Structure formats: C-alpha cells, structure tokens
Structure 1
Amino acid sequence: MEINIRQWIVSVMILGVLLIGGCAQQDVTSPPANLPTEPPVTAQAPDAFSNLPRLEGKATVQMVINGRPVIIEVDGTNAPITAGNFVDLVQRQVYDGLMFHRVVREPEPFVVQGGDPQSKDPNFGGNLGTGGFIDPATSRERYIPLEITPQGAQSPVYGSPLQSARISQTPVLQHKRGALAMARSQAPDSASSQFYFALSDLEFLDGNYAVFGMVTEGMDVIDGIQQGDRIQSAQVVDGLENFRSNGPS
C-alpha cells in the first residue's frame, strides 16, 4: 500500500509540473504518451546537427548562485552535443543573471529548473519556461537533439527516448541526485538552453531526458535555491580545450 501511495504522489507531482508550463517549449514533464511507434534511432549525430558545438571529453563549470559556488562536471564523453551546447552558452555568458523559474520540492524533492533567457529581464511579463537561446548567427532559436548513451553502447542514441527506441539498457548518465539535465517539451529534439538539477534520484526520467553533468560540490546551494533566485555567473574553469565551437574536429 505504501508503494502505491508513493507512486500516486509522484504521478500527481509530474502532472502538476506538466500543467505549470502549459505550452512551454522546455518543460520537464513525464514521458510523452504519444510517442511514435517507429521512432528514428541514430547511432551517430545526424548531419542536421553537425554544426552544433561539441564537448569531446569533460569540462568543469562553476556557477555562482546566491553568492556561493556550485561545481559541475560536464560530461562530453557520453553527451557530446548536449554538453557542448551548455559549455557554449556558458562561454557566451548566456546564463549570467538568469532566474530559476521553477522549483518543485513538494510532495517530494523533484527539480530546480532555470536557463530561460527571457528571465534576464526583471520586467518580463510573459510565461517563463517558454524561451530558448537565439543564435545570433542564424537569428533563430537553437535546438539540440535528445542525446542518450545506453550502457554498453559506443555512441549515443539521438532523437528518441530509449523506451520508444526499444532499447532496454539504462543510460550511462542517470538522474541521480545532483544530476544536470536538459529540459524540453514533448518533442524530443526541442531542448535549447533550459536545464534542471535533480533534487533526488529520479529513475522514471532515465532514458527520456538527457543528463549531461553532475554537481560535484555545492549541492547544499542547490538545495537552498528558491524560485526567483538567479545565477550570478557561470564559467568554465577546466576542460575548455575539449570544446569545439562548430561540431567535431
């Protein structure tokens, strides 16, 4: 009975998060119910994404939140495009001054979400959670593919949650407490700049959302974030030599 109650609570929590964003483009949600029956499974990054930044290895990012540092290991070994996109946005100072617009701790610790560029404007009156990074080179929002590396695989799967791709292996990068992952809409390839920190182990998100990093120091800072708090700064402090600004070398 206790297990059933817990599952009910989690289901209600997920539904609430889904409804908060409405038509937002980068909401953390439960796995979509309308996944295609024959999803594309790509062992290597499609040509459409060949111009995206990549991280070929690992890097360390320091975020300063509420005046205190948070150290994040960004994993480009298992999520090269997702990690490369994040490092690129850090280098562009996109995250400096942005707000954490969604914090969900009840009924159980869930996520802290931020990264909407619209939140930099304190007078913004629209719905936060709907914005992404506008690439000045194209004047369009940059989207990155859903990118998940299954355990034992040589390369990531792109464009499809593992379950719908009929892949039974768990991801290498999992939603453990402190994990850093990309928020997205129900469309798998809709992530842009919004990210979230997992406040607890969230196994039900594994294989559906792209984890690309882990908090190694400062999880107490993450635990203390309140909705409306801002990122003072973010910078790459190690591993920048692994970054490629325009795809693979």
Structure 2
Amino acid sequence: MAQYTPEYQPTGDEIAVITTSKGTIRVQLHGADAPIHVGNFVELAQKGFYDNLKFHRYVPGFVIQGGCPNTRDLSTQDVIAKAKSPFAGLGTGGPGYSIKEEYTTNPHNEHNDGTLAMARSQDPNSAGSQFYFCLGDQPMLDSGYTVFGDTIEGLDVIGELRVGDVIEHIEIENAAE
C-alpha cells in the first residue's frame, strides 16, 4: 500500500472536537510530536471521512476503536452483530493508503487514560484512518503505536462508548488555512 505524506502541516494548536452519539470529546492534538499522524487526521476529518463511522472494537479497560470505513453503511445493530465475527471485515478498512509510524520519534509517546493513538496492522507503517482511545494507562503500547493526542474534555464520554456507537462528525479547531 502506498505511503502517504499529508500536505497539512500542524501548528500544534489543533483541537479535535469529536461528536459521538454518546457526547462530545475534545482532544489536544500533538502536531509537534506526531506531525504525520496529526496532518493525516486533520485532512481526513476536514474531508468528512469520519462522519457516520461507528466504533467497531471495545475491550474493557483497554481501548475503544473506530475509524474503519467498512462501518459507514452499517447500522449500529449491524456493527454490534458483525463485531463478534473475525471474518466480517470490521477493522480492516482504511483511506486507501498508509502513513509512516512516529512512535520511534515521538518524545511523548505515552498511552495514558484518554490518549488518542493510531491503530495499525503488523506492519509498523500501516496506520491509515483507524484510531483508538485508551481506557486507562496502557504503557505496553508505547513502543509500537503512535500517540497523537490527549483528551482534554469528555473522558466520561469515552468511558461510555461501545461497539456500534457513532462518530457523527470531527471538527478541527485552530486548523491552519
């Protein structure tokens, strides 16, 4: 899969406002620490890529994951039903490209409660659109997955999210023109 370098250059002031069916989450994005991941996330959000996608993976005390385009045309009930099957294709979709890992260069790559990070396959450079929020500290992920934001409001909302919940829209505040 082709490696993509985003055109968007983060300023470090970007805040992702993630509106979900359970409430709103505000995340301070880490443009200086993970400029490729933040640039990619901002571009996808601004294109409406995440609108109406569903969270497809929930592991209590670990992570809640979303951003797979294979959930776009499914109802909440369909996602819940399909999430039980490893063959349903949930968690396998992306934007059609991948981005380079930044966990080896990010000086603050710590998976804390509410941290926003990018999911990937076995290839370290395979992240695309799928992201997860940590449900509690997950230091075992620090050396393998890129952190690109920290929740500043809505930790309670993250705690309520489950498989099938909807990412209604992601707005980026303070994005450079």
Displacement of 1:55 in angstroms is 1.7
For 1:240, the equivalent position in structure 2 comes to 175
For 2:41, the equivalent position in structure 1 comes to 86
Equivalent residues in 2 for 1:23-172, closer than 5 Å: 50=5, 52-66=7-21, 68-105=23-60, 109-122=61-74, 126-133=88-95, 141-148=96-103, 156=105, 171-172=107-108
Greater Rg over alpha carbons, structure:
1
- In 2, distance between residues paired with 1:116 and 1:235? 18
Q: Where does structure 2 lack aligned partners over 5 or more consecutive residues?
A: 83-87
1:19-47, Cα deviation, whole Å (9 max, x unpaired): xxxxxxxxxxxxxxxxxxxxxxxxxxxxx
Displacement of 1:51 in angstroms is 5.4
Post-superposition, which runs of at least 4 consecutive aligned residues in structure 1 deviate over 4 A? 48-52
Displacement of 1:207 in angstroms is 2.0
Q: Which amino acid aligns with 2:153?
A: E
Higher relative contact order (CA 8 A, sep 6+): 2
Q: Contact (CA 8 Å) 2:6, 2:36: kept in 1 or not?
A: no
Aligned alpha-carbon RMSD (Å): 2.1
> Quick one: percent identity of the two aligned structures?
41
Which of 140, 147, 155 is 1:204 aligned to? Answer: 140
Q: Which amino acid aligns with 1:178?
A: G
3-state DSSP class of the match of 1:89?
A: helix
- In 1, distance between residues paired with 2:25 and 2:5? 31
TM-score under structure 1 normalisation? Answer: 0.62
Q: Contact (CA 8 Å) 2:62, 2:136: kept in 1 or not?
A: yes
Q: Where does structure 1 lack aligned partners over 5 or more consecutive residues?
A: 1-47, 134-140, 150-155, 158-170, 244-249
